[in-house]
Every structure is written in C-alpha cells, then in structure tokens.
Amino acid sequence: MKDNHVNLFYSNADDGYIADIPDLAACSAFGATAAEALAELEIARAALIDAAHAHDKPVPEPRYRTAIYQFTPGTTRHMSGWG
C-alpha cells in the first residue's frame, strides 16, 4: 500500500482489526489479527483500483499524513503534532 495512509484499529464490537484507506472511499477490511486485516486491505485496494480503471474512473492520489499516534499494546505513544 505504498504511499496510501492506512488506519488500523481494534474493534471490540467486531472482536478483530479494521483497516481502511481514507483516500479510497469504502476501501476497508477486517481481520482477526492486524496482519490479516492489512493483507485483506491490500486485496480490497487492488480490486478497487482495478475496477476504477476498468470503468475509466479516476483513482485519488495518495495524500501524505504524518503518524499522530502509534499503538503499542498497553500504551499509546504520541508520535507527532496534528499539523
């Protein structure tokens, strides 16, 4: 997922991990583990891009976003500012 910002979080309601790409509307995936969610997200991303190309639709350019928080089990570490 080169250059795409990815959100990854644990969902208590779903008892698993959710990953999404904000720049690609409706591109999200679920996994029992973080790695599984990210692998499923790559499949969803590729399918979304293939479908867009097949229908002559534009694919949004990735926008760079700095990491705000990095989650380490048991902690939340502040990584950088909001800017």
Q: What is the pLDDT of residues 4-53, one digit of tens each?
A: 889 999 999 999 999 999 999 889 999 999 999 999 999 999 999 999 99
Contacts of 30 (CB under 8 A, 6+ apart): 14, 16, 17, 18, 19, 37, 40
Inter-residue contact 67 to 77 (CB < 8 Å): no
Which residues on neighbouring strands pair with residue 29, listed in sequence order? 19
Looking at 3.30.460.10, 3.90.79.10, 3.30.160.250, 3.90.1170.40, the CATH number of the domain 7-78 comes to 3.30.160.250
Residue-level pLDDT at 25: 86
Residue-range domain boundaries for the chain: 7-78
Of 1-5, 17-21, 60-64, the range with the lowest mean pLDDT is 1-5
Of 7-11, 46-50, 63-67, 71-75, the range with the lowest mean pLDDT is 71-75
